[in-house]
Structure 1
Amino acid sequence: MDSEDNDRYRAPALDKGLDIIELLSGIEGGLTQAEIAKRLGKNANEFYRMLDRLVRRGYVTRLDGDRYSLSLKLFGLAQLIAPVRRLASYATPLMRALADATRQANQLVVFDRGAAVVIAQQEAPGYWGISIRVGSHISLYNTGSGHILLAFHSPDERAMMMQEYEGSAEAAPELKPEFFTRLDQIRERGYEMMPSSQTAGVVNLSAPILGPDGRAIAALTVPYITLINTPDAPDMSETIQLLLATSHKLAHQVGLDITPIA
């Protein structure tokens, strides 16, 4: 098909919206309407309605009143297609093997359209274990999975994730600098280990499933409980190693790299 045939099926409004999205995808800190127009070689008035629609649909967010930046909505939508669909399909046998090896339950969580959502769950093989329903929304701030999803993104991406999460889920808690220091420490050591804020006696052990750019596609979490009558069950340190091995194996099987971001 030649260029004339291609031009015959052009959709100028759609092209304009895609031009904006593609431009903002490579810009940190956002751009003003005038800056967007200048970079695209257009009149600023041409982009007013398009920017308004992109903001209202959640694809673009406004920063400091007059600057526009790409939101994480496209990232959330992308998680519904190949990577996460493959992740969920590959996860079941690996999560079952992890549960058998650790004698603990485990769950897989993704950040999707402003929410941290459980997309897969594996029960413990014995009588005792902590389970959570598939489809449940969990906290981004006080769970191991939430910490992993935040830790393995850049500070700017974290801010956008929290903005989207607070807009759809709950009011923002007062986050102290120590919270963000903890996220950096999690990324450095490669996993989270924290007492559950929801259930006494449970320690959340969480590891990332990393994408090609080192960002967390998902979090794999073992809600660890001490099994008194099961002396041969792995201890917490051994469980962490089994968890990390499973998260790495799952990333490789889905075709994802596991190189952490700097």
Structure 2
Amino acid sequence: MEENEDRYRAPALDKGLDILELLSSVDGGLTQAEISKKLGRSPNEFYRMLDRLVRRGYVTRLDGDRFTLTLKLFGLGQLHAPVRRLVSFATPIMRELAEVTRQANQLVVFDRGAAVVIAQQEAPGYWGISIRVGSHISLFDTGSGHVLLAFRDDEERRMMIAEHLRSTDKPDQPKEFFERLDQVRDRGYEMMASMQTAGVYNLSGPVLAPDGQAIAALTIPYITVISQPPAPDITRTIELLLGAVQHLSQLAGHGMGEINAE
């Protein structure tokens, strides 16, 4: 197997992909010397490749000597028909959910080892927790990640976790974690204190395909909002979230079927 993989290697392509993957993992960009150091190669190896990536619009220069990703890759990802269709279905539902709950919400899918935010709806008032579209978040310590794993069969779950472990430095999870996923599936949603922001509860529900597998997670980072009129309490917010994911599951299941038929 390894011999076959080596036979079809494309070193220049590998080099370009190494650069893109590295730049996607840092904020503020990197110099050519920093890129070469992190990838363990000579700076001269990357000069022409960086020049081509800049000319093609995938990378841009900051302050003359630092390189960072542009939004071109993200834009290409948005051209993928199923993602566009799912976001188009979700947008009015997410907007209505934000209005009735007075909370922000986001739509998350699994992609190449990570949970990725593909749509975000701001809270209608002054206060709310927002996550940038395109952000990669953990499968292990977020409500969205738990839901994406909980509503998959055992084989797909193992594949998702293996891919996540390859793309991060996180350890595999103990038995208790998988028991938690079973509880999430039985309950129909996840409710957990945020492991990133104090005072926030992640409320996450699954957007389901017709076969019962999660194609996305819709998540409300719930905060206690003191407003007039009063915002719904957390119990009522969960009910509204579950109504939204049920509606979106119906729409997405039909729409994704149309795409697959094409």
Do they superpose with TM above 0.5? yes
Q: Which runs of 4+ in 1 moved over 6 A?
A: none
- Closer/same/farther in 2, CA of residues 141 and 256 from structure 1, 3 Å limit: farther
Greater shift, 109-118 or 128-137, is seen at 109-118
Q: Distance in 1 between matches of 2:201 and 2:228?
A: 17
- In 1, are the aligned partners of 2:165 and 2:171 still within 8 Å (CA)? no
Residue 108 of structure 2 contacts residue 117 of structure 2 at CA under 8 Å; is this kept in 1? Answer: yes
Q: CA deviation at 1:166?
A: 1.6
Code of the aligned partner of 1:94: I
Query: What is the total number of aligned residue pairs between the two structures?
Result: 189
The residue aligned with 2:88 is 89
Residue 247 of structure 2 aligns with which residue? 249
> 1:230: how far off?
4.2
Distance 1:129 1:83 in 2: 28
Give per-residue Cα distances to partners, 1:121-173, cap 9 Å, x unaligned.
Answer: 000000000000000000110000000011011222111101111212x1233
CA contact (8 A) 1:84 1:217 kept: no
Matched ranges for 1:13-92 at <5 A: 49=4, 81-92=80-91
Question: 1:186, CA displacement in angstroms?
Answer: 0.4
Q: Which ranges in structure 2 are unaligned for 5 or more consecutive residues?
A: 9-77, 256-262
Q: What is the CA–CA distance in structure 1 between the aligned matches of 2:79 and 2:108, rounded to whole Å?
A: 13
C-alpha distance in 1 between matches for 2:238 and 2:163: 30
Matches within 5 A, 1:182-221: 182-221=180-219
Matched, 1:163 2:167: no
Aligned-pair identity (%): 66
User: Relative to structure 1, is the Cα distance of residues 80 and 110 closer, same or farther in structure 2, using a 3 angstrom cutoff?
Assistant: farther
Structure 1, unpaired ranges of 5+: 1-32, 34-47, 54-78, 258-262
Q: For 1:192-233, what per-residue CA distance to the aligned partner results, in whole angstroms no more than 9, with x for missing partners?
A: 000000000000000000112211100000000001244521
- Decide which structure has greater helix share: 2
Aligned equivalents of 1:218, 1:191: Cα separation in 2:
12
Q: CA RMSD in A?
A: 2.7
